[in-house]
Structure 1
Amino acid sequence: MRFSDSFTKRFYAIVFFLGASIAIAQKRPELGHVTVAELEQKKHPKDSSAAAAYLYKHTKVTFSFDAGGIKVITDTEAKIKVYGKDGYDYATYEDFYYVRGGSISVKEAATYNLVNGKVEKTKLKGESEFESKVTKQIRSKKFVLPNVREGSILEYRIVKTTYSIGRLRDFYFQNDIPVDYVQYELRLPSDFKYSKLIRGSLNPEIREETITEAYGSQVQKTTYTLKDVAAMKEEEYVTNIDNFRSHIECELSGYTDSYNILHRFSTDWASVGGHVFEDEDFGPELKRTNYFEEDIKPLVDGKTDIEKMNILFNYVQSRMVWNKYMGYSCDDGVRAAYKNKIGNIAEINLMLTSMLRHSGLKADPILLSTRENGIYSFPSLTAFDYVICGVKIGEELHLLDASDKHAQPNILPVRAINDKGRLFNEKEGSYTVSLEPEKFSRKMVTVLATLTPDGQIDGQARDNYFEHHALRYRDSYADLGKELCADKTEKRFSGLEISDYDVLNRDNLAKPVTESYTFHHSGLADLIGDKIYFSPMLFLSLAKSPFTQDKREYPVDFVFPYQDKYVISIKIPDGYEVESVPKEAKLGMQDNLGTFFYSIAPQQKTLQLTVQYNINKAVISEEYYEILKEFFSQMIAKQNEKVILKKV
């Protein structure tokens, strides 16, 4: 992902150069004390499956003042034990910093191994450190620790500096590997006021004190400590696992001046909205209209509101190319973007919002945080990294994002579907908007198959994809020719051989995508004696449940509610008759979260199977995990039950 220039502006917009508050580093815990016993340890004592573990992790955040302004210094030490080959990934470190005043320096880094009963240290060499340009504003710092093997201990100390004081970097107590001891030390100048929020299920020990540092400066020191933190491992259907791992968020909310007067920043949505529309890269850009007026007038004259919305959405979507820059502020401006037919998220969707307003519709920008960026917690200028358009027609609010070539009104790209957004209007204020789709996305699969006496299965399949299912197909298969599409579909189903592949309406967003192909499979039926055993769902059944954990600490995110229906007709071979078929089944989850229906009927020489399952809610709370897990377990077991044919 690339970030726009405006990404950094969000921070600098709220930086006030208040005066010196110089933090002098205290004595830090020493790295380098590695024992033979630590190196001999084969498994983590509390998680034998762990490929690695943090034996120790400590981060200290301090502030200093220089000619460039107020600087945040983040000093991180880590000691990691590698148990297995999957833990080798922790030997690679990468982080990013802003070119303006930012830096990342490696103070210490080494690998420790046990060699002939003694501790051997291998230091990181300079040639193993790499810096690269990500964008004109962002650089990457990366290194790979040397001589890593099973049993190694890795240590490093990294110091990162930035002038972005508006939102401190989130600190995670919890990771995807166990953490034996973790501590976060926050030293805030006494005249700075930060909103602090601890998210997740863990409650760290908190110690607060006021200390006087060099030059007489007062610092509020808060230390957060946790021990024996279990890994939070990622399972399928999660928005962004970091949303749910225990961590702390810190947002600058105000400062106290030399007269002891408190000045507050964006601590409520009214002030956030004020800052948004005052931003020269947002408010004025939304008001510009003269660059498109003559072009759109003949398109919308005499049209209804719904027609205007669809016409203008299609117009911007087809004209503009997203340059992959995120953010909610313009870089080159809407006029230049319109002329050059390329722009960032803000330029494309503010342009659309402006066109809709100019055409008489009630349209407003909706700011949101993408799935990758996380879920915002409190009113903040820095919480958002994306903007879409909301259009109120009658009582319905339509959500539009013209940056994606395959999106449609109310069918947002997945990156933008993340809990909720905030609609802002210059005069009426703002309110929360749910981004969670409510309408079913449908998939309809029809199969005509023939089973041969030797267990081969040949047939034709026709898949119809609607709504978000269609969006996913179009995104996944974009720009692929038929041969590559066939290859991609084959890889979805083990052992399937496809020919005569065709697809309709891939570029016609008004219609469902229709995928059709001829198939052959030789591994779906078992011949035992004079009988044939096979699942009538053929290659379409789920092989295993996506839900395998004993306990889940975060919601199950399906992105959108969906309905998948399968109608399968199978001709049985001559000389055989049906001995038994699976029984009809109906399953339902508590609170109507999902349903499953399975029915098979022998009809002379054919079997007719109908299967349908619905997930009725896009996001299901972790409180229902056991119910959902059991539902999927029973559904998959039924899908894999066998028909038995016997030779006549």
Structure 2
Amino acid sequence: MKYLLFILTMCFSFNSKAQDVVFGKISTKELKEKLYPLDSTADAAYLYKSKDVSYEFTGSEGWYLITKVHERIKIYNKKGFDYANKTIKLFNRGGKDEKVTNLKAYTFFIDEKGEVSKLKLSKKEVFEEEKTDYWSIKKITMPGIKEGVIIDLTYQKKSPYYQYIDKITIQENIPVKKISIKVNIPEYFTFKSYQKGYYPISLQKSNKNRIINYSYRQKNCTTCATTSRYNEKVNLLESSIEINEENLPSLKDTEPYCGNINNYRAGLEFELSSIKFPNTKYSNYTGSWNSVCKTIYKSSNFGSELEKSSYYKKDLQNILSYAKNDYEKTALIFQFVKTKIKWNTYYAKYTDKGVKKAYKEGVGNAAEINLILTSMLRNAGLDTNPVLVSTRNNGIPLFPTLDGFNYVISKVNFSDGKYILLDATEIYTTPNTLPIRALNWYGREVLKNGESKQVKLTPSSLTKETNSLFVKIDELGGVTGIFRKSLTGHSAMFYRQKNNVKKEEDIITSTEEKLGIEIETFKVLNTKKINKPIMQTIKFTGEDFIEEINNKLYFNPAFFLATKENPFKSEERKFPIDFGMPWQNNFSVSISIPDGYIIESYPKELAISLPENIGVFKYKILTKDNKISLLSVTQFNSSIISPSYYPTIKEFYTQLVQKQTEKIVLIKK
């Protein structure tokens, strides 16, 4: 029995060690794989993903944070080539920079002889790029990338900003075969940890003793130039969080209406609560959104910039001479700022070169443009405040933190209780029609005293697309018609952003290809008059809409306006449907059928109401003599829909597609 127990113990020990992943030692079996065994659709997969976070201390540098990373990725096809590029974000400020050390990487492949070969990452394939005054990125491009290779990469990031532990992403856009996360935090630092995402992750928490050895130099006396080296040892308690998971499914951003998919991927985030070093006072870091906003407001690159006004006084006086009321003041100032200062595409909550310089040069970041807008509106006598925003690509902050916001817009409050949100970075925005990047749940309005309050960013009113189609069918099955489209809100803004930079002939060509028609005349109104709806009129002909079988004519009464495919194809969905804004799409079709024909059959009326007033679909056909009228409305009142409603929404679209693709049958009299 003792012998058997010994053998089992040795086997267990051997198997545990065999499962350890060692950098540079890959599996030939995995290298030869053509498809990922658990997901044949995967373009690539993390064979191993490891992150080890710990604290180190030296007598010369003090505390710093060490993050050790090891990633092993298998690339199955060309679509997975993007995973051969790695970007590491580094924070740099005040001479204290985050640094990458011990960077090593190989690309493994099967050579012409059928043997395992590898290419080493060289220095010329690693370069650093400065993005802002505070951030830079280190870019890595792996060598010898082709289908079937395995990338093995490891590095260490050293950060003097020990108060901030990077977000840890556990679930990815591709499958993860094995993941190992370790976070070890000394007793001097207290962090709150937050799990996010819908995939269940098991955390193992424990405490352990640790000894830190360090040395330092000190003068032997107050007047002596000589120093001596001293060695010290500190015993402390360390809290540990570990995650060890296998076979995590991908959470892809290819699903329709997913917003920022990173909001819903399994992950772990940390918030510093307090610091208490030996023989020092307790420091509390737990904050509220109010305290975060006050900190931002007190910055010389934020609040102080709002107080400056001399640089635009003459221009403001000229603008106000044309305004009769507060709404006109707002509209004129808003339009002036949009045309005066061009956005340099940088998101920011702080100014970079400052409002005066941005105004003079006519170029600025988001903070400079919208703080100028806010300041001008205030000096025009309007109750206006900046609103801090986390853009969609920045995610939804789980707790109050300075990094939670990366953008600024403006809010005007009127005496009748109404308010409007403004963003002057985009020439085609209108009041309460923010760029899609800013439509991320809630922002924080910062008042003049630094206090703040929550503001809903998504619009309350529907963005609308209204289509009218007048069609005449001849005896040979040819179609002539007039198509009118009206766009308001975000639909109009999207149209202008997409088409105002194109030539008319290019718009006509793409429209003909999309709708399957030949355009005779084309006219669009209000492309530059952004306070009015886009009005498009097309006169067209078509030959492929009517099908003749056994002297009967078959056609879809919605023609090219029908939704022909259900956008929701997955069996289940673990994250919300994000439309960005509430919307309505409605169309009416008036059809004249040829003489000598009567209607044999046509689609029946259908109305679907979704629960909780989420949305509706209505479809109705009326017939009289040789005229057919179709009315269809699709409307969603909620911009964000819980995944619990996904089966209902999917079935909603299944019925919608079936109804909008049903055909009318005409027979000869």
TM-score higher than 0.5: yes
* 1:206 matched residue in structure 2: 204
* Equivalent residue in structure 1 for 2:243, among 224, 244, 248: 224
* Equivalent residue in structure 2 for 1:370, among 369, 378, 391: 391
Q: Larger deviation: 600-609 or 441-450?
A: 600-609
Does the CA-based 8 Å contact 1:173-1:226 persist in structure 2? no
1:412 alignment partner, SS class: coil
Partner Cα distance (2:645, 2:105) in 1: 44
* 2:151 matched residue in structure 1: 154
State the 1:136 CA deviation: 5.7
State the 1:214 CA deviation: 3.8
1:367 alignment partner, SS class: strand
Does the CA-based 8 Å contact 1:595-1:613 persist in structure 2? yes
* Equivalent residue in structure 1 for 2:345, among 300, 308, 324: 324
Partner Cα distance (2:626, 2:594) in 1: 8
- The one-letter code matched in structure 2 to 1:90 is Y
Give a deviation string over 1:498-550, Cα, whole Å, max 9, x none.
Answer: 34222110111111011222333333332222122111111121121111111
* 1:233 matched residue in structure 2: 252
* 1:13 matched residue in structure 2: none
Partner Cα distance (1:540, 1:397) in 2: 36
* Equivalent residue in structure 1 for 2:193, among 191, 196, 201: 196
Q: Larger deviation: 420-429 or 465-474?
A: 420-429
Q: Larger deviation: 74-83 or 626-635?
A: 74-83
Counterparts in 2 of 1:323 and 1:84: CA distance versus 1, 3 Å: closer
* 1:61 matched residue in structure 2: 53
Partner Cα distance (1:411, 1:481) in 2: 25
* Equivalent residue in structure 2 for 1:310, among 318, 331, 334: 331
In the TM superposition, 1:379-394 aligns within 5 A as 379-393=400-414, 394=416
Partner Cα distance (1:530, 1:359) in 2: 72
2:144 alignment partner, SS class: coil
- The one-letter code matched in structure 1 to 2:243 is Y
1:567 alignment partner, SS class: strand
Partner Cα distance (2:179, 2:351) in 1: 40
- The one-letter code matched in structure 1 to 2:72 is K
State the 1:114 CA deviation: 5.1
Partner Cα distance (2:396, 2:71) in 1: 27
State the 1:576 CA deviation: 3.1
* 1:457 matched residue in structure 2: 479
Q: Does 1:279 align with 2:299?
A: yes
In the TM superposition, 1:520-599 aligns within 5 A as 520-599=541-620
Counterparts in 2 of 1:641 and 1:253: CA distance versus 1, 3 Å: same
- The one-letter code matched in structure 2 to 1:182 is I
State the 1:110 CA deviation: 2.7
Does the CA-based 8 Å contact 1:35-1:119 persist in structure 2? no
Counterparts in 2 of 1:185 and 1:492: CA distance versus 1, 3 Å: farther
- The one-letter code matched in structure 1 to 2:181 is Y
State the 1:582 CA deviation: 0.9
Give a deviation string over 1:416-468, Cα, whole Å, max 9, x none.
Answer: 00011111114372111111211011111111223344444332211110111
Does the CA-based 8 Å contact 2:185-2:239 persist in structure 1? yes
- The one-letter code matched in structure 2 to 1:470 is A
Partner Cα distance (1:448, 1:128) in 2: 62
State the 1:103 CA deviation: 4.4
State the 1:264 CA deviation: 2.6
Q: Larger deviation: 391-400 or 555-564?
A: 391-400
2:466 alignment partner, SS class: strand
State the 1:125 CA deviation: 4.3
Alpha-carbon RMSD across the aligned residues, in angstroms, is 2.7
Instruction: Give TM-score scaled by structure 2 length.
Output: 0.86
* 1:438 matched residue in structure 2: 460
Does the CA-based 8 Å contact 1:582-1:641 persist in structure 2? yes
* Equivalent residue in structure 1 for 2:71, among 78, 83, 87: 78
Pick the structure with greater CA Rg: 2
Does the CA-based 8 Å contact 1:483-1:501 persist in structure 2? no
* Equivalent residue in structure 2 for 1:470, among 473, 478, 492: 492
State the 1:147 CA deviation: 5.0
Does the CA-based 8 Å contact 2:371-2:410 persist in structure 1? yes
2:251 alignment partner, SS class: coil
- The one-letter code matched in structure 1 to 2:538 is Y
Q: Does 1:632 align with 2:630?
A: no
Q: Kindly, what percent of the aligned residue pairs are identical?
A: 31
Instruction: Give TM-score scaled by structure 1 length.
Output: 0.88
Q: Does 1:511 align with 2:503?
A: no
Give a deviation string over 1:51-84, Cα, whole Å, max 9, x none.
Answer: 3322211012344578888654432212223444
* 2:24 matched residue in structure 1: 32
- The one-letter code matched in structure 1 to 2:653 is F
Does the CA-based 8 Å contact 1:366-1:422 persist in structure 2? yes
Q: Does 1:180 align with 2:177?
A: yes
State the 1:643 CA deviation: 0.9
Does the CA-based 8 Å contact 1:79-1:154 persist in structure 2? yes
* 1:267 matched residue in structure 2: 287
* 2:633 matched residue in structure 1: 612
Stretches of structure 2 that go unaligned for 5 or more consecutive residues are 1-19, 215-232
1:486 alignment partner, SS class: helix
State the 1:105 CA deviation: 5.8
Does the CA-based 8 Å contact 1:372-1:415 persist in structure 2? yes
Aligned residues: 619
Does the CA-based 8 Å contact 2:111-2:117 persist in structure 1? no
Does the CA-based 8 Å contact 1:34-1:119 persist in structure 2? no
* 2:228 matched residue in structure 1: none
* 1:8 matched residue in structure 2: none
Partner Cα distance (1:381, 1:640) in 2: 51
Does the CA-based 8 Å contact 1:562-1:616 persist in structure 2? yes
